[in-house]
Structure 1
Amino acid sequence: MESCLDYHLKTAHTYESVRRPHYLDWSNYPSPFKFYRGVKTFPLPPFKFRGQETLDTLYRLCSDYGSDSLTLQEVANLAFSMNGVTKVEDFHGEPFAFRASPSAGALYPFELYLFLRSVEGLPNGLYHYQPVNHSLELLVAGDLFEPLKGALCAEFTGNCVAVVTTIYGRSAWKYRARAYRYCLLDSGHMVANGVAYLRSLGLDATAVSLFKDSRLNALLGVDGTREFATVALLPERPALFWGDEELPPFNYPPSEPVLRRPVREPLVEEAHRAGELADCQFYRPFPGSSSLFPEVTSPPLGDVILKRRSRREFTGRAMPFETFKHLAESSLTCFPSDWGFPKCNLYLQVRNVDGLQSGIYTPSNGRLELVQAGDFGPHVSYLCLSQRFVAYANVNVVFTYNFGGTCRDYRGALLEAGALGENLYLAAEAFGCGACGIGAFYDLELQAFLGLPPEELPVYVVSVGVLV
């Protein structure tokens, strides 16, 4: 599979496909937590962070900052910002833990690993973050940064590197072969929260998606098929590293299975395998941004991370133009990453925004260009499997990707869509609005509605609306 267009088309929804019988095997419901056996656990200090104002942080995501080592409290805050439990609710008589990052179907297919050195109170080593009790589980002791540099193709000086993996079977239990899309989007959500947190500390936080897959997976102690690395996060802007450090043998502790019976999807595994990199023969571009930003007041980022939820109770009432402007500008214009921003194209279906004609818009030379006028909320709602809240949104942002590149480019596009989508979540929450990501839509009908060329297809939709 040279291009993931084939995968994307084979997993496209149609009116007929979503109505075929599909029964969930509740006896095989996946555990949202991964538990290692026989590991030493280090409790982390509670999340204690308010930080810079949310919009101020988001506007400056691509500004030039510096690098520094993280303290134990900052490591704890980073882990919590990406994958912490922010709320526990009763679900049919059972407690259900919601996370800091959104996930399709609340299945949380992601895991978070941290490579640490010279952090006071923690031995050097590879850790798994355990959201259940906000702790770190030591998997391998020792300074692993040299082999990590070889795996990430990155030269760095800090004391913390976070790596996101996905156990795709958690998502495939419900979404079958389409799950790979959701796993990449969810990984983008997760790394976006980490980037925002580190940027609020004044660090050059960067999402790294280009790495040697087999080497990084081996260093994490995961099999690379059922669980595999999707993106790393460094609190600096790394230089490209061409070395090839040997990977020493490590003994990894066993873990409990997250599914009683494995869920495998050949299409997922083939698409992921087609995007693997075996060496560091690539260029790593980083985007930049203007140093001029508007003054806008918003709540501290830490408060917003704790409050963020997928909210669908849109009222349809008018959104002030300034709110819309800041939502779009702060969330969608840049993301510090190495996948070649921008990978996605954007289409904004707008309705009931003060001073802005309802219709479909697309960014062009720093401005919004009207593609077609009209209130298309009800039709976009139908295209998103008739989810009613979509019709009441003030803006539905459709992320599309032109399939001219490799499967690694496809990974980057979905990571980007997820990351920008999470920025929208944070910005909306800061304004007292709601946001909800949508990964399910009639792919080809939405493509036709937007008038896209044959090889440009939608990959994600995020709805944002006024709540009161």
Structure 2
Amino acid sequence: MHRLTSYEPGREWTEPADDPRVVQDLEVNDLDRLPWFYKRYTRPLLRIELPRDLPPTTASAVAVLAGSADVAPAELDLPRLSRLLHLSAGVVRTTERPYGTYLFRAAGSAGGRFPLELYVAVPDGSAVPAGVHWYDPREHALVQVGPPPSGGAPSVVVTGVPWRTGWRYRERGYRHVYWDAGTMLAQLLAAADSSGLGASLHTRFPDAAVAALVGADGVHEWPVAVVGLGDEGPALEATGSAVAGEVDAAPVEFPLATAAQRAGDRDTLGAPWDRGAPVDVTLEATEPVEAVIRSRSSQRRMDPTRGLSESMLVTFLRAALRGVTVPHRVVVHDVEGLAPGVYRWPDLSTPARAGALRDELYRVCLEQGLAADAAFVVIAATDVGALDDREYREAQLAAGLVEGRLHLLAYGLGASASGMTFLDSAVPALLGETLDALLFTCVGVPEYVPAAGGLPGAPTEFRMVTPRVAD
């Protein structure tokens, strides 16, 4: 999977790899086949309108991400669930395109494809209506698709829709599903932590059972992660059939992605992720999580003449990598107190590869300007050959989680960030190590301040800034 979805010089990123396991006859970015922005249900189903006035919080977003915020425990109720869902996957911005209104969710997504669906599985006895509910991101409502699960605590089930991102990125969209899931989960977990909800992230679970619980078919939609919201383990045992719904009118299957997903399937619920001990950060900010998330956007222009401080880089990396074991490297362009070059976090004493690398990053990142204009670029990289199929999923998700946290930390402290794709074959030479890149995140000084995202039911309308890669 990783090799067949890698970019290399001499082949455009839109072209398929020459291999029979890769779909060859797909015209990517075909607007006549633009996938739906979210799932649809044709059968009349019970809808529960979520509160549109979101309960405010006071803890600093930076402290929340560092694990040092003092937040009183709270029970899940409908207002807190409403806040959680909107700040992680609600529609917050729209823009008009020749083919219609384009919807942007609260969390970032590679290419603006947003290939995720969220469900809330609530057993009997909770303050939230019992049942398995799909989250309608545009109308900000719950749609009951199944009966209440048995036992345990309420949970959020995240699924991926490979066609929605594969429409643009082919089979490489498999990686993007997990990147985007990690990015979104960074916001969901921060929203939960800031409101006092005990949240536990599970990436090992009985795949077939969880898919059946939410009505996913395992081909065009499959489970990616489960977040328990309570002291008990998540309630994942179905007590009846779920309505399947449709992810698109005519979704295309990517057999390679289907095979990769099934190869990592498990039968039992694993332990939750270690969220990590609180970390010391040198910088603080007062903005709460909801304000930072609304201010966050995918930056398209950074000022290459302005750098950031070493204390800012250290704050970002310590908090973003809390509890994450995937190795990360940092390419420094302009950080006060640090010489330009490649550093192997957490060692900032001397670069592993010294020198100015703006031009090289520009080439490695497919001539996207942000890679050269950023103050520094964070790179998740590991030996994917040493991972089993489930660990590969988890590594991609972890890279996305770090990217999502970097976004929040950057916007919380007056900087900006943007995820970035890359030429896989060029990464070992860049890093000076035989490692496989998972994800690049550019962090720098913004050239503009984006309009804040809207509240439920009132997304902000905006005009697109010149994109880094033409649509």
What secondary structure, in the 3-state scheme, does the structure 2 residue paired with 1:268 have?
Answer: helix
| C-alpha displacement of 1:53 | 1.1
Task: Output aligned runs, 1:309-458, within 5 Å.
Answer: 309-316=297-304, 317-332=306-321, 334-335=322-323, 341-342=324-325, 344-364=326-346, 369-403=350-384, 404-438=386-420, 440-453=421-434, 456-458=435-437
C-alpha distance 284-274 of structure 1, shift in aligned 2 (>3 A): same
Distance 2:373 2:227 in 1: 35
Kept in 2: contact 1:192–1:423 (CA 8 A): yes
Partner of 1:97: 103
Residue from 288, 291, 301 that aligns with 1:300: 288
RMSD of aligned Cα (Å): 2.4
Q: Matched residue pairs, number?
A: 431
Task: Specify the code of the residue in structure 1 equivalent to 2:376.
Answer: V
Partner of 2:30: 25
| C-alpha displacement of 1:94 | 2.6
Task: Output aligned runs, 1:250-261, within 5 Å.
Answer: 250=241, 252-255=242-245, 257-261=246-250
What secondary structure, in the 3-state scheme, does the structure 2 residue paired with 1:35 have?
Answer: coil
Kept in 2: contact 1:39–1:253 (CA 8 A): no
C-alpha distance 291-90 of structure 1, shift in aligned 2 (>3 A): closer
Residue from 40, 58, 65 that aligns with 2:65: 58
Residue from 21, 27, 34 that aligns with 2:39: 34
What secondary structure, in the 3-state scheme, does the structure 1 residue paired with 2:2 have?
Answer: helix
C-alpha distance 132-420 of structure 1, shift in aligned 2 (>3 A): same
C-alpha distance 284-246 of structure 1, shift in aligned 2 (>3 A): closer
Deviations 1:311-347 (A, max 9, x none): 0211011213332222222222x14xxxxx41x2111
What secondary structure, in the 3-state scheme, does the structure 2 residue paired with 1:419 have?
Answer: helix
What secondary structure, in the 3-state scheme, does the structure 1 residue paired with 2:367 have?
Answer: coil
Deviations 1:60-92 (A, max 9, x none): 17x898865211100100111110111122223
Deviates more, 1:395-404 or 1:457-466: 395-404
Deviations 1:346-394 (A, max 9, x none): 11001111111111111247x5652111111220111010101210100
Distance 2:406 2:31 in 1: 33
| C-alpha displacement of 1:294 | 4.7
Deviations 1:200-252 (A, max 9, x none): 123432211010111111111111121000001123465699xxx975432x3
Kept in 2: contact 1:114–1:162 (CA 8 A): yes
What secondary structure, in the 3-state scheme, does the structure 2 residue paired with 1:370 have?
Answer: coil
Deviates more, 1:191-200 or 1:44-53: 44-53
Segments of structure 1 that go 5 or more residues without pairing to the other structure are: 1-6, 147-155, 336-340
Task: Specify the code of the residue in structure 1 equivalent to 2:407.
Answer: Y
What secondary structure, in the 3-state scheme, does the structure 2 residue paired with 1:17 have?
Answer: coil
Partner of 2:261: 272
Deviations 1:433-468 (A, max 9, x none): 111111x31101112321222xx3001001011125
Over the matched positions of the two proteins, sequence identity in percent amounts to 26
Task: Specify the code of the residue in structure 2 equivalent to 1:170.
Answer: R
TM-score, reference length from structure 2: 0.85
Task: Specify the code of the residue in structure 1 equivalent to 2:356.
Answer: D
What secondary structure, in the 3-state scheme, does the structure 2 residue paired with 1:390 have?
Answer: helix
Partner of 1:139: 145
Segments of structure 2 that go 5 or more residues without pairing to the other structure are: 16-26, 448-471
C-alpha distance 369-74 of structure 1, shift in aligned 2 (>3 A): farther
Say whether 1:460 aligns with 2:439. Answer: yes
Distance 1:125 1:310 in 2: 35
Kept in 1: contact 2:283–2:315 (CA 8 A): no
Distance 2:234 2:47 in 1: 34
TM-score, reference length from structure 1: 0.86
Kept in 2: contact 1:101–1:189 (CA 8 A): yes
Distance 1:293 1:429 in 2: 16
